[in-house]
């Protein structure tokens, strides 16, 4: 495998991981907007752009890690869906890990 193939997997992983995380974010925004409409909050009161961007970065990171683990696998529909799922679920894992590490550091 040469450097261009490796970069292709890496870029695909980042982009598809962000796609997976975008799906997760859209579901979250839909749920939050439904809850906000009942309590009459405005969109600006509960939507945080910084959090969305951080979330997309986490999804891209998870997708990149997923793609690296799949190096050499043919890039087919199964590969693409696996990487999107990595971004969807992996970002949650990374976020949870970060919170756990943060709370452990705060207790010492």
103: its two tokens: 């709370």
Residue 102 has pLDDT above 80, yes or no: no
Tally of domains within the chain: 1
- Gap between the Cα atoms of 30 and 64, Å rounded: 27
Q: Is residue 35 part of a domain?
A: yes
pLDDT of residue 43: 62
2 domain residue, yes or no: no
> What is the distance between the terminal CA atoms of the chain, rounded to a whole angstrom?
45
Higher pLDDT, 68 or 41: 68
Would you say residue 96 lies in a domain? yes
Q: Is residue 4 part of a domain?
A: no
Whether 28 and 55 have beta carbons less than 8 Å apart is answered as no
Q: In 10 A of CB 70, how many CB atoms? A: 18
Domain annotation covers residue 108: no
Domain that holds residue 39: 15-103
Residue 43 forms part of a structural domain:
yes
Interval 13-43: pLDDT, tens: 999 999 999 998 888 877 777 776 655 556 6
Residue 6 in domain: no
């Amino acid at each position: 495998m040469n450097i261009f193939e490796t970069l292709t997997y890496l870029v695909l992983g980042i982009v598809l991981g962000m796609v997976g995380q975008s799906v997760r974010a859209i579901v979250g925004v839909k749920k939050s907007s439904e809850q906000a409409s009942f309590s009459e909050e405005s969109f600006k009161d509960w939507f945080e752009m910084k959090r969305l961007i951080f979330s997309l970065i986490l999804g891209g990171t998870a997708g990149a890690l997923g793609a690296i683990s799949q190096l050499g696998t043919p890039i087919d529909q199964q590969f693409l869906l696996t990487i999107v799922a990595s971004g969807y679920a992996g970002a949650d894992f990374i976020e949870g890990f970060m919170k756990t590490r943060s709370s452990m550091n705060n207790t010492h």
